[in-house]
Amino acid sequence: MSSVMEQVSVDELPLPGRLRELLAEMGIRELFPPQVEAVKKGLLDGRSLVVSSPTGSGKSLIALLAAARVVASGGRAVYLAPLRSLVYERAVEWRRLLEPLGGRVAVATGDYDRTEPWLADANAVLVTYEKLDSLLRHRVAWLNDVDLVVVDEAHYVGDSRRGPVLETVIARLKTMSEDLQVVAMSATIPNAEELAEWLGAELVVSDWRPVPLREGVAYGSRITWDDGSEQRIARYTGTASLDVALDAVAEGGQALIFVNRRRKAVELASRLAELATTRLELRRLLAPEDNPLGGLLERSEHRELNRLLHRLAAYGVGFHHAGLAAYQREAVENAFRRRVLRVLVATPTLAAGVNLPARRVVVDSMYRYSGGKSTPITVAEYKQLAGRAGRPGLDREGEAVIVARDRRQALHALQAYIHGSPEPVLSKLVSEKALRSQVLAVVASGVGGRGGVKKVFENTLYAKTYGLPDAHIEKTIRLLEDIGLVASGSGTVEATSLGRRVAELYIDPLTAKTMLRGLSRIRTKRMALHDALFIAIWNTDSVLVRPPRRLMLHLEAEAEEYLEGLGYDTYSELDAASIALAAQALYTVDVLVDWIMETPEDEILAKYGIDPGDFRAVTEAAAWLVYSMQQLAAETKHPAAHWLSLLETMVKHGVREDVVELVKLPHIGRVRARLLNRAGFMDLHSVARASPEELAAKVPGLGVARAAEIVQAARRLVQERR
């Protein structure tokens, strides 16, 4: 634990250029305790560090100081985070503070099948874990020349989905540069020492928080705090979570209620707003002067949801979950940040993404729902939620309160969660799915035979803990060889050109296998829309729409028949999980066909009961998979390769084939593309020949200035094609 309360002034640090003044302008003069410790342990001498400390304890500045030193001395720094939102947040700070020191800061989070050549000129690169994995798969040269890698939220190493990516990425970077400085930062974890050993790093452990955190359990009409004290809470609504939240609001704070289901988030928020319509006392407590979400009513899509968010905001209440579209989430977050919303009911996705603290965090349940089952959340998850409590500069203290349903639960919450310590972070590298993907990635990045592959895996946390997973690696190589993705001899192993392509496309080797098999059965120039979509999305890389349970049996029967038609022997070749997945895929194909047939988005959402955020995820994943399938078709000289590239645009934009060209233009989405088409603009040429005035006159709602941009772009595209 941090032993010192020693003051270290920023002035005493050997900082490059104007960094000292820039930090002072931001109000940073003294170091926070974990920062003092990091400097003492050699942060500014290029030592590797593992920093395990609470939310808001200033880990970002630790990363920045390391990056500043590297950049100012002509080196290259890379920052890795699990979410785009975190990458962008850090990039803003790095631009402001590193560019005056000669930093050339670049961000890349987008599509995986890109080498992003412009990154070579940057000396401070911020990316997600997966983006870096993708760059490594493309054998991007500058990656051989990295001096510092900052790993943010390093406890993700223990995540069963993202962990193997992160672990292998770090292992590969370490293999590529002997004296790489690794600064791994994480929330409090009990086995930070193990991570430090893995990385050859010094350890900085601290439990210091800028705003102290008090934790308690609510049961009955009381909160029992962690110091044993008790507090009565008023009965505003009779719903425990709301009453605990309102108790903080009554004292001038804001409250964040975490619930485990989206529906619950909407229900609780609605109930509170509903009560406030009739109860003056609640209205006084909550209602803002102006509705902060007025802007949402101007949108032409997602009308129902926008009206609901707006109505709740009038009473100072909001909800937030992954089903909301990105713009809706952002609007809610901003309103909460501006303190206009007093109570926000959210699912845990909020805690992982943006930095949105509140005076009081209310944990509505210690259970999580998935697939109809409820399982207890981990202590680490609870600590993550609780960590959102307390806004620096606004709250003297943050409070986290777990709501218990009975006395037993209350006791358990206190012992297991509040006084409990988070679970250790353990390697999840050895699962079939993770190894398939990572072994192919490592082989494809050309590390030099079996020896090279093993050298990389020796640098993983898994190998450091349990020894090299030799047998697993060999088994995986054999599987990849069966699919035709690698070729191996004694001591040698290399990726085939197909294998390299699959690694670059960032799809599961089994996904590639399914696609290749489907393509080899249908060797026509155009495929049936339905077949092409099904083959593209029947895999675990896709995001599927969940059918209503009552349809499942019927869909599974349909799926079996359909798969037989595709040449599968469903009895001997496929297990129950593949068939259930096929049923979901068939259902999702219907959704995608509606989308491509230009059914209005709101109609699709209502028909299938999909939330906007999920719908976006479904179409994006499908577009990516169709692209991947197109690339495999091109690689194997399949006659449908050209048509599949049209299909990719159709899926991406939700349009029929005849306007695929038009959606390439700026300001032209699926709706305007159809309007243009109806007005007689059938292709890029006809738009390029038009005058902006003509275009504006024929397309309702299009101004002349926009029309001019569109015509310009069309002319450029036509030119390029010549």
Contact string (CB under 5 A) for Mg ion, positions 41-80, x = contact: ------------------x---------------------
172-211 residues near ligand ATP, rule: CB under 6 A: 187
599, two tokens: 């059914």
Which range touches ligand ATP (CB under 6 A), out of 28-36, 96-104, 237-245, 453-461?
A: 28-36
End-to-end CA distance of the chain: 67
Number of shown-chain residues binding Mg ion (CB under 5 A): 1
**Toward ligand ATP, which CB reaches closer, 23 or 276?**
23
86, two tokens: 């975190």
Min CB(28)–Mg ion separation in Å: 15
131-160 residues near Mg ion, rule: CB under 5 A: none
Q: Distance between CA 435 and CA 237 in Å, rounded?
A: 51
Which range touches ligand ATP (CB under 6 A), out of 49-57, 301-309, 437-445, 672-680?
A: 49-57
Contact string (CB under 5 A) for Mg ion, positions 232-251, x = contact: --------------------
Phi and psi for 360 in degrees, rounded to 5? -125, 130
563, two tokens: 């798969």
Which range touches ligand ATP (CB under 6 A), out of 36-44, 54-62, 113-121, 370-378?
A: 54-62
671, two tokens: 């709706």
Q: Which residues in 554-590 are b (16+ Cβ under 10 Å) and which e?
A: ebbeebbebbeebebebeeebeeebbebbbbbbbbbb
**Toward Mg ion, which CB reaches closer, 59 or 155?**
59
Choose the one of ligand ATP, Mg ion, none that binds residue 189, judging by a C-beta under 5 to 8 angstroms depending on kind. Answer: none
Q: Which residues in 391-419 are b (16+ Cβ under 10 Å) and which e?
A: beeebeebbbbbbbeeeebbebbbeebbe
Check residue 566 for interaction with ligand ATP (CB under 6 A). no
Min CB(57)–Mg ion separation in Å: 9
**Toward ligand ATP, which CB reaches closer, 391 or 450?**
391
8-27 residues near ligand ATP, rule: CB under 6 A: 27
**Toward ligand ATP, which CB reaches closer, 27 or 491?**
27
Contacts of 499 by beta carbon, 8 Å cutoff, 6+ apart: 440, 443, 444, 480, 484, 485, 486
**Toward ligand ATP, which CB reaches closer, 63 or 671?**
63
Check residue 57 for interaction with ligand ATP (CB under 6 A). yes
Q: Distance between CA 292 and CA 128 in Å, rounded?
A: 32
Are 696 and 709 a contacting pair, CB within 8 Å? no
Check residue 457 for interaction with ligand ATP (CB under 6 A). no
Residue 582 CA neighbour count, 13 Å, CB half: 24
Min CB(172)–ligand ATP separation in Å: 25
Amino acid at the residue 461: L
Q: Distance between CA 489 and CA 632 in Å, rounded?
A: 25
Of the candidates 37, 52, 59, 591, which one interacts with ligand ATP according to CB under 6 A?
A: 59
**Toward Mg ion, which CB reaches closer, 59 or 672?**
59
Class of residue 507 by CB neighbours under 10 A (exposed 0-12, middle 13-18, buried 19+) = buried
Contact string (CB under 6 A) for ligand ATP, positions 29-48, x = contact: -xxx--x-------------
575, two tokens: 């297990």
Check residue 28 for interaction with ligand ATP (CB under 6 A). yes
Instruction: Quote the strand ranges of 233-309, DSSP E.
Output: 255-258
Check residue 97 for interaction with ligand ATP (CB under 6 A). no
Of the candidates 15, 39, 58, 588, which one interacts with ligand ATP according to CB under 6 A?
A: 58
Min CB(51)–ligand ATP separation in Å: 8
**Residues that bind Mg ion in the complex, under the rule CB under 5 A:** 59
**Residues that bind ligand ATP in the complex, under the rule CB under 6 A:** 27-28, 30-32, 35, 55-61, 187, 392
